[in-house]
Amino acid sequence: MNVRYLSIVLMQALISSPILTDPRIDKDFILDTDVSNEGIGAVLSQNIGNEERFIGYFRKSLDPWSSCEIQKTQLEYPAIKPILEKKLNSAHRPSWQEISKENPATKRYWAFWDSLHLKDSVLYRTWESDDGSPCRWQLILPKSRIPEALRENHDS
C-alpha cells in the first residue's frame, strides 16, 4: 500500500458516517483490552450487519515515577544509600570492613551485591529463572514507599 492510498482511506474514514455508533441492546458486546507498562486501553464494539462497529473507547497513559524521583528516595533511605552510592561510583563490591559498620538491612543488600544492578541510575535486584525465561527486575524501594507502590500497581 502506498502513502497516497492510505491518505485517501484515512480521509474517507474521517468524513464518512460517525466512527462511534450507538449501542444496540439486542446485540452482544465485544470488549477488547490492552495493557502495557506505558498505558491501558479498551474498545467496546458490536457486530452489526457484517462489520464490527465501535461504540466507545478508553485509554490512559501511565505516569510512572521518574527515575530521578526514585533515585532521590533511595538516597534518602539509610539502608539503601550506601549500596547505591557504591554502585554509582564503582563496579567493585565493597569489602566487609567497609560495610560491617552499616545497619543490618544494608548488610543484606551487600550480601546479594551481584544481583543488584543500576538502570537509569536506580537500584534494582535482578531475578533469573532456571527455565531460561527473561530476567526480572525488582525495584529496591524504601519500606515507606512500598504501600504506595502496591496501591498503584494492584488497585483498580
**pLDDT tens, residue by residue, 90-101:** 879 999 999 999
Q: What value, to the nearest 5°, has the Cα angle with vertex 66 and ends 124 and 89? A: 50
Q: Which domains does the chain carry?
A: 3-61 (3.10.20.370), 67-153 (no CATH)
pLDDT band at 150 (very low <50, low <70, confident <90, very high): confident
Query: CA quadruple 121, 99, 101, 137: dihedral positive or negative?
Result: positive
What is the rounded average pLDDT of the residues 85-93? 91
Higher pLDDT, 78 or 132: 78
pLDDT band at 85 (very low <50, low <70, confident <90, very high): very high
Q: What value, to the nearest 5°, has the Cα angle with vertex 11 and ends 8 and 15? A: 140
The whole-angstrom separation of Cα 28 and Cα 48 is 10
CB 29 within 8 A of CB 23: yes
What is the rounded average pLDDT of the residues 36-61? 84
Higher pLDDT, 60 or 84: 84
pLDDT of 84 > 90? The answer is: yes
Q: How confident is the model over 21-37, as pLDDT tens digits?
A: 889 999 999 999 988 76
pLDDT of 80 > 90? The answer is: yes
What is the rounded average pLDDT of the residues 131-152? 84
